[in-house]
Structure 1
Amino acid sequence: MEKQLKEAVELFEEVIIYGTERVLKSIDNPIVHEFSPEQIQMMKIIDKHGPITAGSLAVMQGVHKSAISNRLKKLEEKGFVQIVKSDSDQRTKWVELTDEGSDFVEKARAILSSFISSLLSDHVDEKEVEQFVKTFRKLKEIMKLGEGER
């Protein structure tokens, strides 16, 4: 089992590292090419967990806070995110999507979902999709449990 688990981890890393960029580059839609993959990921994180602090974004994306600051500045200039001071602590700043940012995330998800569905439809059958979903639900729960233990 250890050998298979090692292979599974390596395959997972390859799909995450190379798959995301390759898929985004393959999509023939200008809306997706307007932003970097990291900016798109950031907006998806904000959409799911926001309002959120820049520090939390840095942890979730695994980068230094300065990289987050640069991404946020560009997204704020384009009107996709806004920075809001906390009511209870003026030192705390929350990042949230604007309506335009939320619309973008929704459109990007639809485009990505459609592309991946068409990419996989000829290569993956229904049972494989069911197993994939089951496995990733389990991985998600395991990783969520591990967050509180750090």
Structure 2
Amino acid sequence: MENNPIREIPVPLLLNQILHAQTYWVMQCMKEVDLKPGQAGCLFILSKEGRLPQKEIAKKLGVKPPSITALLKKLEARGLIVRSSDEQDQRVSWITLSDEGRRYIRRIKDAMKEMEGTMFRDILPEERLLFRRLLLQIRENLMTKEAMESCKIHMKQECMSDLDEEI
């Protein structure tokens, strides 16, 4: 039997290569719309949630409130979000997408759809469904409480604050 070099590549290495290629595509997409990934994440959260207080956006993005302030100022200066004060509590800032922000979401979704089309070119729909099911199962297998506890041993404590909340 002839050796197939593709079969000799360990699956974790293949997944790592795919992740890097996908990250490259996402970064190219972000360049096209002149956004950083955190800014795009903020716009997607707002497109899903509608209107949120600034503090809640920071929590959903996993960043500290001062970091979200700078990000939101940039998005507001570009006309992608609208900030308004709460009528009962002036300390609370509500954030919503502007019409321009909604147009950006559409552009990003179109680019992601193009990337997905490239990813799954020459792959049958049933193979795509099987691939998705397998990825979900692999994720579930790796994200057990025991596995996450084991990872803590090898990771620096300051990197674990988000994991601690989930476990």
TM-score, normalised relative to structure 1: 0.68
- Partner residue in 2 for 1:142: none
- Partner residue in 1 for 2:150: none
* Counterpart-to-counterpart distance in 1, 2:132 and 2:101: 28
Cα deviation, residue 117, structure 1: 1.4
Secondary structure at 2:44 match in 1: helix
Question: What is the number of equivalent residue pairs in this alignment?
Answer: 127
Identity percentage over the alignment?
23
Letter in 1 for 2:67: A
TM-score, normalised relative to structure 2: 0.62
* Counterpart-to-counterpart distance in 1, 2:24 and 2:72: 24
Indicate whether 1:91 and 2:62 are aligned: no
Letter in 1 for 2:49: H
How has the CA–CA distance of structure 1 residues 19 and 84 changed in structure 2, closer, same or farther, with 3 Å as cutoff? farther
* Counterpart-to-counterpart distance in 2, 1:20 and 1:75: 25
Question: Which of 21, 24, 42 is the equivalent residue of 1:22?
Answer: 24
Alignment of 1:1-150 (within 5 A): 15=19, 18=20, 21-27=23-29, 31-32=32-33, 34-122=34-122, 124-133=123-132
Report runs of 4+ in structure 1 exceeding 4 Å deviation.
132-139
- 1:31–1:108 Cα contact (<8 Å) kept: no
Q: 5+ unaligned residues in a row in structure 1: which ranges?
A: 1-6, 140-148
Cα deviation, residue 96, structure 1: 0.6
* Counterpart-to-counterpart distance in 2, 1:50 and 1:111: 22
Cα deviation, residue 135, structure 1: 6.8
Compute the RMSD of aligned alpha carbons.
3.0
- Deviation digits for residues 16-62 of structure 1, max 9, x if unmatched? xx5663222344x8533x11111111111111112111211111111
- Deviation digits for residues 92-142 of structure 1, max 9, x if unmatched? 2111110000111111111111122123223x4312322355578898xxx
- 2:50–2:96 Cα contact (<8 Å) kept: yes
- Deviation digits for residues 56-105 of structure 1, max 9, x if unmatched? 11111111111111110100000101111123433321111100001111
* Counterpart-to-counterpart distance in 2, 1:53 and 1:90: 12
- Partner residue in 2 for 1:144: none
- 1:83–1:94 Cα contact (<8 Å) kept: yes
- 1:21–1:37 Cα contact (<8 Å) kept: no
